[in-house]
Structure 1
């Protein structure tokens, strides 16, 4: 496990800032201890400092994963959040979209959210703002990017897209590797 360099740290925090704003500080300084981000094979892991100390005993070649995988850097140095980060980011989300029960399954299949599937949206959500998608019973379902601002959502046609799909909890099933 190695520390992220300055460039990658900046890219990671910009991506997290898109979804949770200034609450990134609360991810690191938590009441139950100090947490940190470490990189291993282009993946970024989130873990407590206690777990980090235990993982330093293992060699890099023997280590597969430590902590929670927050995402991965691509070869072009772009960061993509993984769905495993959802439960850490959801409590700190500044912008949220709630999906109607009739459209939850469609979102979990990887579809964008049209206005007809929109239950509620946080006030003052800007266009292209990162949002956390919830069911109407406040269960976090995934990540998205607002295709329209809150004001535009009120006047748009029912079949127009209001949120672009980024990741959802259905990916666990869709991307499952079958080993024979």
Structure 2
């Protein structure tokens, strides 16, 4: 487990800023202590300094994970967010989409969100902006990218895609063997 390099930090923060903007500061400067990001086996973990100090007592080859996995770096050094980061990012999300109850299951199976399944969308959402997807009961379901702006969503036909699927909490079941 090691600290992220400058390039890795930049790549990860650029990805996070698509969803939470400048609220990234709130993840690190927390009132309940100091938190940090660490890299282990191409995965980025978010943890408190107390847990980090305890984890140093375990050898690297025996350590499976520590803290919360925020995502992983691919072989091409791109950062991919995991759904395990959803609970930390959802409160700070700048752009949100709410899905109707009838379309929740479709989204959780890995499908895009159609206009007919869109409940609400944050005002002034730009096209290709990262969004956090919620149920109508404000339960975070996953991440996506807005396919249309808020204004375009009002005018398109019901079968148009309004949010491209990226990750959802259904991945725990669909791909549990590759998450760790």
Aligned match of 1:118: 118
Partner SS state of residue 64, structure 1: coil
TM-score (norm 2): 0.97
Structure 2 portions without partners, runs of 5+: none
Counterparts of 1:176 and 1:4, CA distance in 2: 26
Cα distance, 1:176 vs structure 2: 2.9
Aligned to 1:162: 162
What CA deviation, in whole Å up to 9, does each residue of 1:14-40 have, x standing for no partner? 000000000000001111111100000
User: CA-to-partner distance for each residue in 1:117-147, whole Å, 9 max, x for gaps?
Assistant: 0000000100010000000010100000000
Aligned to 2:153: 153
Could you list the runs of 5+ residues in structure 1 that have no partner in the other structure? none
> 4+ runs of 1 displaced by more than 2 Å?
none
Partner of 2:77: 77
How many Å separate the matches in 1 of 2:61 and 2:2? 13
The match for 1:97 is 97
CA RMSD after TM alignment: 0.7
The count of corresponding residues between Structure 1 and Structure 2 is: 177
Distance, in Å, in 2 between the alignment partners of 1:102 and 1:59 is 47
Give 1:87 shift.
0.3
What's the TM-score once normalised by structure 1's chain length?
0.97
